Structure 1
Amino acid sequence: MVRCSCSFLRKYGNFMDNLRLFTKGGAGGMGYPRLGGEGGKGGDVWIVAKKRVNLKQIKDKYPQKRFVAGDGANSRISALKGEKGLDCEISAPVGIIVTDERGQIIGELNKEDDKILIAQGGLGGNLLSNFLPSKGQKRIIHLDLKLIADIGLVGFPNAGKSSLLSKISHAKPDIADYAFTTIRPQLGKIMYNDLKQVSVADLPGLIEGAHLNKGMGHKFLKHIERTKQLLFVVDITGFQLSSKTKFRSAFETVILLTKELELYKEDLMMKPSLLAVNKMDLPDAKDKFSELVKQLQNPKDFSHLFGKDEIPGKNMEFQHIIPISAQTGEGIEELKNCLRISLDEQSNQEKEKFSEKQLLNLRNSNLLYSDLSSKYANVEITEFH
């Protein structure tokens, strides 16, 4: 049975991944008609990516959630050109997608110091506007946090994702003997001997129906979108959320996780994926692992275990299947090596594709130049004296 205490609810309430803000650019300054003076432009509102910032800090520091830039200075005899109003900068965490009220994407903050112009200041009064200034732009925006990581851990509750993250990285996630240990995304880094770092995101456990937003499914599934690769983590003994839900074997767990990702966003099926089979230190684990591998090699032979709406249109093709024990450390080094190999292969493929694209663009530009040269080769040039 799943234990859900008051402390769980309080802790979950401290995690925020969406925030709605009101922003307004500053008004322009008045012009000076008698001397043709121009008022200063109003300040702009920007969002800037900063480390060690989270959305809850923004909400706590600015409870009104209003951000207004300074007005431009009026034109005057001592300064015919009015000064620009002060810009307003909102510090936000890396990994933010900024959208407007209609859901249209304004921009993304993918690395520290990335900036997005949110609301422009109004123009100062000048001759064209009869020396009257314009108001600043008003905009209601949403800051939507989607983690950026190399690897995203995917699994049902109690699969051992938190224990695994603590083994492969320096992260210290909460670990307990009940299902929903992870209630907010945790980030860790794997450090390799050559100083290469791989970031890993432990996402809260999915449940069946997550794509329908059951168990806050959308809140956590969206973080998977911003990871380069997926690492499925399953319990070799199977999984049962509570006495009221069906028991699922390790094989069923893999299929149902795949289906949840497919139903949420089919593009997720294109991500390179690996499978870590956890708790291999338990009795009969090796026999169960052999059975799981056979089932994954021929999944259609076991379709009778599922309802029609539970079978994914396409099964995940795992690049590596690694038996591990987060408890004893068995297979952890092999898993880290497989993750590194898989990421390096993906990086090399992306570089090759980029090089091919650049080469194709170069060839096309050369062909275009060649066509133009041949077209005008016989054109007579008349000289004027």
Structure 2
Amino acid sequence: MVRCSCPLFRKYGNFIDNLRLFTKGGSGGMGYPRLGGEGGKGGDVWVVAEKKMTLKQLKDRYPQKRFVAGGGIDSRVSALKGSKGKDCEIPVPVGISVTDENGKIIGELNKEKERILVAEGGLGGRLLTNFLPLKGQKRIIHLDLKLIADIGLVGFPNAGKSSLLSQISHAKPVIADYAFTTLKPELGKIMYQDFKQVSVADLPGLIEGAHMNKGMGHKFLKHIERTRQLLFVVDISGFQLSTQTQYRTAFETIILLTKELELYKQELQTKPALLAVNKMDLPGAQDKLHELMYQLQNPKDFLQLFETNMIPERIMKFQHIIPISAITREGIEELKNCIRKSLDEQDNQEKNARHQNQLLNLRISNAVSYSEPPSKHAIPSS
């Protein structure tokens, strides 16, 4: 693998979002043949979610990336049943997906203190094993971090996502007037007067072809999977990555962003979405906004501007469209209110769905109990 010495990848390297680890359960203890003793079971290896842990801390603390549980205690005359070996716990951040060497998902850790068994200890020696212990399970696992946030900011580089995050939350991301300022995910929290907190994730900017892992494609897209809602942030004046790439209007930007999400994983398009039209402080922004609103209301009339392979199957429907300026703070309070309203609506919908499922399960349970035939021991009615 060729290593790139450019600052872009060096900076991103400080943020680790995946690790490959070797794990091994402890071997069982020896049995005691003469007295029918049983050796202790080997210790297990667990992955445990901790709130303030990061994958970089894990790598720094355990540079060998090897986790082996303790062996079971041998059976002996004074203790015919040996004690279990010491378990090994791997501390990981909340929001980790654990997969095996073949890419099969072992489990996910979405809350603090949740745990997953990744390598089981071997059985102790006993009569069934001719009193010989069994070895512990060996397993290569992959830890994959996917951020968990209420809102994920979606946009091309230099759309103003970092500036917006600094305005709506207490986060202090790096901000500069050039593309790819954000090289690692930044998390901020919007604080409301009733003490409600909403987490917002500012993610590295997408580029065309992100679904094919161009730029920071998969590093960006996988984090979006763990956000409840999407907030598209587009520059009202459009976007052009470099002089070698094509200029895109704000409307074209939205269509291309939607297509990138679709090509990576169609389910991303089902998430509730809002649109922040940024940089409204620029000259001519109001006229461009009127044009954009008309295009969003009549998208099919403008899709002929695109090549067929760039048109998404499903056009994104935004619950709220808010013109803003992250510089002058125009529309910032309205945006925060719309975010809160949208999340509250989603909470109510999810609550009603759970209630409907409970009622449905109750009806099914009652229907089954009524349809059961009476017991043959039941006393006949007179």
TM-score, normalised to structure 1, is 0.95
Q: How does 1:133-148 map to 2 (within 5 A)?
A: 133-148=133-148
Aligned to 1:336: 336
Shift of 1:46: 0.4
Aligned to 1:43: 43
Deviations 1:21-53 (A, max 9, x none): 110000000011112221111000000001221
Aligned to 1:249: 249
Shift of 1:60: 2.0
Shift of 1:9: 2.8
Aligned to 1:220: 220
Shift of 1:78: 2.3
Measure, in 2, the Cα distance between the counterparts of 1:193 and 1:127: 67
Contact 2:324 2:330 in 1 (8 A): yes
Measure, in 1, the Cα distance between the counterparts of 2:337 and 2:5: 38
Task: Answer with 29-38 or 333-342: which moved more.
Answer: 29-38
Q: How does 1:293-372 map to 2 (within 5 A)?
A: 293-372=293-372
Shift of 1:110: 0.2
Measure, in 2, the Cα distance between the counterparts of 1:297 and 1:127: 75
Measure, in 2, the Cα distance between the counterparts of 1:78 and 1:380: 53
Gaps of 5+ in 1: none
One-letter amino acid of the counterpart of residue 25, structure 1: G
Measure, in 1, the Cα distance between the counterparts of 2:234 and 2:378: 76
Measure, in 1, the Cα distance between the counterparts of 2:6 and 2:217: 21
Aligned to 1:20: 20
One-letter amino acid of the counterpart of residue 246, structure 2: K
Deviations 1:184-215 (A, max 9, x none): 11111101111111000001000011111111
Contact 2:204 2:216 in 1 (8 A): no
One-letter amino acid of the counterpart of residue 181, structure 1: T
Shift of 1:156: 0.1
Measure, in 2, the Cα distance between the counterparts of 1:50 and 1:195: 24
One-letter amino acid of the counterpart of residue 336, structure 1: K
Shift of 1:6: 4.0
Measure, in 2, the Cα distance between the counterparts of 1:278 and 1:5: 33
One-letter amino acid of the counterpart of residue 23, structure 1: T
* Root mean square deviation, CA, Å: 1.5
Aligned to 1:205: 205
Aligned to 1:376: 374
Deviations 1:88-131 (A, max 9, x none): 00000110000011111111110111111110101111122221
Task: Tell me whether 1:55 sits opposite 2:55 in the alignment.
Answer: yes
Measure, in 1, the Cα distance between the counterparts of 2:184 and 2:357: 39
TM-score, normalised to structure 2, is 0.96
Give the 3-state SS of the residue equivalent to 2:300 in structure 1: helix
Measure, in 2, the Cα distance between the counterparts of 1:108 and 1:160: 32
One-letter amino acid of the counterpart of residue 374, structure 2: Y
Aligned residues: 377
One-letter amino acid of the counterpart of residue 279, structure 2: K
Measure, in 1, the Cα distance between the counterparts of 2:264 and 2:78: 62
Measure, in 2, the Cα distance between the counterparts of 1:37 and 1:366: 51
Shift of 1:7: 3.6
| Deviating 4+ runs (over 4 angstroms) | 379-383
Percent identity between the aligned chains?
Answer: 75
